[in-house]
Structure 1
Amino acid sequence: MTHQQASDPDRVPARTEPDDARGDAQRRIGVEVEFGGLSARDAADVVQGLLGGEIAKADAHRFELAGTSLGDIRIELDSKYVHSDADASAFEKTVRRVAGDVSGPIIPTELITDPLPVEDLPKIDRLLDSLAKAGAVGTEQPHLACGVHLNIEWTDTDVRSILRILQAYLLMAPALRDDIEPDRTRTLLPFIGRFPKAYQMKVLDPDYHPDFTQFVADYCQANPTKNRELDLLPLLASIDHEAVETALGEKPSAVRPTFHYRLPNSLIGAEGWSISREWDRWRCVEMLAAKDERLQEGLREFRDNRETSDALGTLKRMFAEVVGK
């Protein structure tokens, strides 16, 4: 995607409800942004210069900032192989530091926030602008496959509410991909994998009404990985850790009450791009999920058309209706 494409207002979903009507003031989101061009150390200095806080060095390629004006923030090279625990041997620390030094140019640096009120997203955008001015770049470096993850807090543990979000997302995913145009390198790597087709058919069946245990079992059997464009494992594990562990056959790697939305590109420095716009795109999914009659109509249309070329047209039309385009 070019910077010009990113700034085209016709490609960005319009808000169709006022903020207070959507309840954004009560929502919280954790933000993860990948970028190249700056080391973790240099990026930490930029964050401290703008937001304050104290920098603590966890290891050579991971820095933690406590007490910033946006809460605690971690910045690190995005690879588990270059980080060491505090009690690791001196030899292991040296090996991992050297591994990070060597691989730094081909591994993204990642900035990770604690859950933030939605109203603070413009502050994240200003921070990303500062990082861009200091040399951070996103998908300008295609070999890094830089992306943005939104950890969207979700407090409703009713399986029906989670299922509706997943159904709405699957119905809108083709149009979201068209709108976002994920970086080519990212689509070739497994990190934002699509849901298996057979699983999509199961979930988009209007007659699919699982209880929570069955939903977890179905999800984990088809998606035993975090590498999905919308990762539900952290949310499901936060509700019933044992059910997820049983279904996966191992402990889940992350447990938090959030939808882990992984599709957006990281377009740091691109004119017109922002985290706030990615949040607007996500809100379109929630808006469709909240309109039960329209959602059920979409499920029926998809079922009736899924064997024809009309299926994708149905999904794109629904997206256009929801975002007001």
Structure 2
Amino acid sequence: MSDLHLTLPRDRFLPLPHGDGRKCGVEIEFGGLREDKAARILADTLGGEIRCDGDTKYTVTGSDIGEIEVYLDTAWRDQIDTAILGQLLEIARSVVPVEIVTEPLPFAALPRLDAARAALRKAGATGSRSGILLGWGVHLNVQLAEETADHILRVTTAFALCDDVIRAFDWVDTSRRIGPFVDPYPRAFIDALCAAERIDMDALITLYLKHNPTRNRALDLLPILAHIAPDRLKEALPDEKISARPAYHYRLPDCRIDEADWSLALEWNRWVVIERIAANFDLMEQLRTDWIEHRGSFTTVRSDWPDRVTERVDQSGLIEELVGEAA
């Protein structure tokens, strides 16, 4: 796993475990292009018609991969007073990303989206590392394989145990590391995940909301909770606007759209590794036990943990198996 960023394929999408029929919505934030030009490139690459939905929003309808929204990122746009929006818009474009958002896509459609990503790059789209503290990212909304507490617990635990490994390498730009949008899970939450070999849905929801009453996590489960228990989520977080969907909201990846060796396939395949770890019972048991021992030792620090995970995953042969499948 130490050389995961080097060995995973960048030109093809690896299948998920239990992947038949599962879909994934994709959100990509980038700069360098206006919304209208980005929409035109998407329509030229993927087909479809462009509809103007406002000053800064367009929709590509009837494309090869369905409807695609293209807009100036609303998380930032809504902070600008509408009375001065027009005056500030051109200035804002230097720091506010354009975002494209797809509908949930079948696995077979992901390479087509990656082709559109390449076309955007050629047209001048820029990513996270094109300026100081931009923090632009890619979000994957990966459909649940099962709407069960056991499945959600296993995948969330696998991600929590591997998060430090991802952050230990140059996979996450400094601007996203120090920003609030992709914070790691609290260590106390990881402790609780590792202690809970089995859990029912009610207890899992209680546990998650106790430690993560925020959308700003690298793996955000709030959309899942809004889908499964909307009343509980509304009561716990009445001021949050959360779109309910049965999907993991994986928020961590950078957008490096302007870098020749980056692709959506690479970020997707990193998520596939998480799910493959979650599906490996023996490896999960080892990692869970290792975490408990790591936390109980007086001679370890958090920076030691990535080496432990790397050793276990390398010993399992999981990465070699994945790379072999991709050959």
Contact 1:153 1:259 (C-alpha < 8 Å) held by counterparts: yes
Task: Tell me the distance in 2 between the aligned counterparts of 1:20 and 1:197.
Answer: 30
Matches within 5 A, 1:52-131: 52-80=47-75, 82=77, 95-131=84-120
- Structure 1 unaligned residues grouped into runs of 5+: 1-7, 85-91
TM-aligned CA distance change 1:192 to 1:64, over 3 Å? same
Amino acid at match of 1:323: I
Shift of 1:127: 0.5
CA distance in 2, matches of 1:236, 1:194: 19
Alignment map for 1:1-325 (pairs within 5 Å): 11-13=6-8, 22-80=17-75, 82=77, 95-143=84-132, 144-179=134-169, 181-205=171-195, 207=196, 209-250=198-239, 252-306=241-295, 307=297, 308-309=299-300, 311-320=305-314, 321=316, 322-324=318-320
| Unaligned residue ranges in structure 2 (runs of 5+) | none
3-state SS in 1 of match to 2:51: strand
The one-letter amino acid of 1:61's match is T
Say which SS state the counterpart of residue 190 (structure 1) adopts: coil
Distance between the aligned counterparts of 1:21 and 1:62, measured in 2? 33
Could you say if the C-alpha distance between residues 138 and 14 of structure 1 is closer, same or farther in structure 2, counting changes exceeding 3 Å? closer
State the distance in 1 between where 2:105 and 2:121 align. 21
C-alpha contact 1:79 1:107 (8 A) present in aligned 2: no
1:191 is paired with a residue whose SS is: coil
Give the CA deviation at 1:294: 2.2
Cα shift at 1:215: 1.4
Question: Which whole-Å CA distance do the structure 2 matches of 1:267 and 1:20 have between them?
Answer: 23
Partners of 1:27 and 1:111 in 2: CA distance? 21
CA distance in 2: counterparts of 1:20 and 1:130, whole angstroms: 24
CA–CA distance in structure 1, aligned partners of residues 211 and 89 of structure 2? 34
Deviation at 1:251, TM superposition (A): 5.5
How far residue 52 of structure 1 moved from its aligned partner, in angstroms, is 2.0
TM-score (norm 2): 0.85
The alpha carbon displacement at 1:269 in A equals: 3.1
Contact map agreement 1:154 1:258 (CA 8 A) in 2? yes
Deviation at 1:249, TM superposition (A): 4.2
Q: Residues 128, 164 of structure 1: CA spacing in aligned structure 2 closer, same or farther, 3 A cutoff?
A: same
Does the Cα contact within 8 Å between 1:175 and 1:319 map onto a contact in 2? no
- In 2: Cα distance, 1:215 partner to 1:266 partner: 31
RMSD: 2.6
Question: Structure 1 pair 212/40, CA: closer, same or farther in 2 (3 Å)?
Answer: same
SS at match of 2:181: helix
Amino acid at match of 2:191: M
Give deviations 1:164-219, integer Å, cap 9, x for gaps.
001111111122223452011111111111111222222122x4543212211221
- Any conservation in 1 of the 2:226–2:233 contact (CA below 8 Å)? yes
Bigger shift: residues 211-220 or 188-197: 211-220
Shift in Å, 1:260: 0.6
Q: Tell me the TM-score normalized by structure 1.
A: 0.86
CA deviation map 1:222-278 (0-9, x unaligned): 111111110110012111211222333446522111101111111113223211111
* Matched residue count: 308
Alpha-carbon distance between aligned partners in 1 of 2:167 and 2:293, rounded to the nearest angstrom:
23
* Equivalent residues of 1:25, 1:119 under 8 A apart: no
Task: Give the match for residue 89 of structure 1.
Answer: none
The letter of the residue matching 1:300 is: T
Measure the CA separation in 1 of the matches of 2:62 and 2:170. Answer: 33
Shift, 1:76, TM fit: 1.0
AA aligned opposite 2:275: E
| One-letter amino acid of the counterpart of residue 158, structure 2 | A
